[in-house]
Amino acid sequence: MNFSLIADNLTNPALLFFVLGILAVYLKSDLEIPPNSSKFISLYLLFAIGFKGGQELSHEPFTGEIVLSMLFGIFISLMIPFYTFFILKRKLNVFDAGAIAVAYGSVSAVTFVTAVAYLESQQLQLHGHMVAIMALMESPAIVIGLLLISVFNKDEKEVIQKRNAIKHSFTNGSVLLILGSLLIGYLANAQQAEGIRPFTTDLFKGFLAIFLLDMGITSGRKLKSFFSSGWFPVVFAVLIPLVNGVAVALLSSLVTSDLSNRFIFAVLAASASYIAVPAAMKISVPKANPGLFLPMALAVTFPVNITIGIPLYFWAIQHS
């Protein structure tokens, strides 16, 4: 493996700001990003990715490969929660196993955004339809996870509110914003898009760095209590994303030969949701422990992906 890919990623300013956030927590610094500012930045990142993806999509012919790629994305988001649920159920209760499986079957928009920045550093371009695929992969995992919990739940008093959770998976803010921005970017002509280019493109990496600083602070606060849960959640949160990412990096060659598309598929398969899924689980499976699945996704899997995972998946694709 070309370790220069990992070395280059480890000196990426955005990643170093993430590390700075964790360090600030352990130094007991009062450094923090105001919640309203953090929410604005996350909305901005989703908007910018969606709009630029829509612009790219407007220049792409709608081909059979795109349709096949969309079906492949949905297939991934159905299979990952299905197989991980049975692994998790060996050590955890049904509710925690289901919630964690859903988180790992769904996707992380912030990991996706980081992967897009990595693509640009490799002089590769994100194709617009991959933004649509990312949005499509949010909901199927939630649906399959709720079905699995319902089948294996022996506590009849614990009712799973499937309808509310499924509705929320399609209407939550992050999915709605990225799909809406994608559509607007698709409809806008090149001249109109150029008018907001400084906002959608030039400011992107700076906002990403500040957002990852905030993610580092949030992760640092959750690490200590999470590690007290034992070895199994930690090992799962490290190994399963790497297995998923490398497996999909190889399997994606069946639907597309494009290097950047295969890389994004791998990153989406490896990522775990810590925004949309926790909100859906709070509504539908209140018995699931957010102190378990949230730190697994945010404090372990996210940093593993952006340090080791991203260059690993890129290398796997280059050599397959």
Which residues touch 3 (CB under 8 Å, ≥6 apart)?
none
The sign of the dihedral angle between the CA atoms of 202, 205, 211, 213 is negative
Which residues touch 199 (CB under 8 Å, ≥6 apart)?
48
For residue 108, what pLDDT band results from cuts at 50, 70 and 90? confident
CATH number, domain at 213?
1.20.1530.20
* More confident site: 77 or 169: 77
SS3 state of residue 89: coil
For residue 160, what pLDDT band results from cuts at 50, 70 and 90? low
* More confident site: 60 or 35: 35
Q: Which helix (H) or strand (E) element contains residue 317? A: helix 310-318
Half-sphere exposure of residue 184: CA atoms within 13 angstroms, side-chain side? 16
- Structural domain boundaries, residue 294: 3-318
* More confident site: 57 or 26: 26
For 194-239, the pLDDT digits (tens) are 888 888 777 878 887 888 788 788 778 777 767 777 889 999 999 9
- Of 303, 270, 246, 219, the C-alpha closest to 12 is 303
The residue behind tokens 């370790």 is 3
pLDDT at 246 over 90: yes
Angle among Cα 317, 183, 263 to the nearest 5 degrees reads 5
What does the pLDDT average to over 10-33?
A: 83
CA max distance for the chain: 59
Q: What is the pTM of this model?
A: 0.77
For 267-296, the pLDDT digits (tens) are 999 999 876 676 667 667 778 877 788 788
pLDDT at 271: 94
For 177-188, the pLDDT digits (tens) are 777 887 898 888
Percent of the chain at pLDDT exceeding 70: 87
pLDDT at 1 over 60: no
Query: Which segments of 160-314 are extended strands (E)?
Result: none
For 115-142, the pLDDT digits (tens) are 988 898 888 988 888 888 887 787 788 8
pLDDT at 144 over 90: no
Domain count, the chain: 1
pLDDT at 100: 93
For residue 242, what pLDDT band results from cuts at 50, 70 and 90? very high
pLDDT at 228: 73
The one-letter amino acid code at 264 reads I
Q: Which helix (H) or strand (E) element contains residue 55? A: helix 35-58
* More confident site: 255 or 230: 255
pLDDT at 313 over 80: yes
- Of 114, 118, 120, the C-alpha closest to 5 is 118
**What is d(CA 213, CA 29) in angstroms, rounded to the nearest whole number?**
13
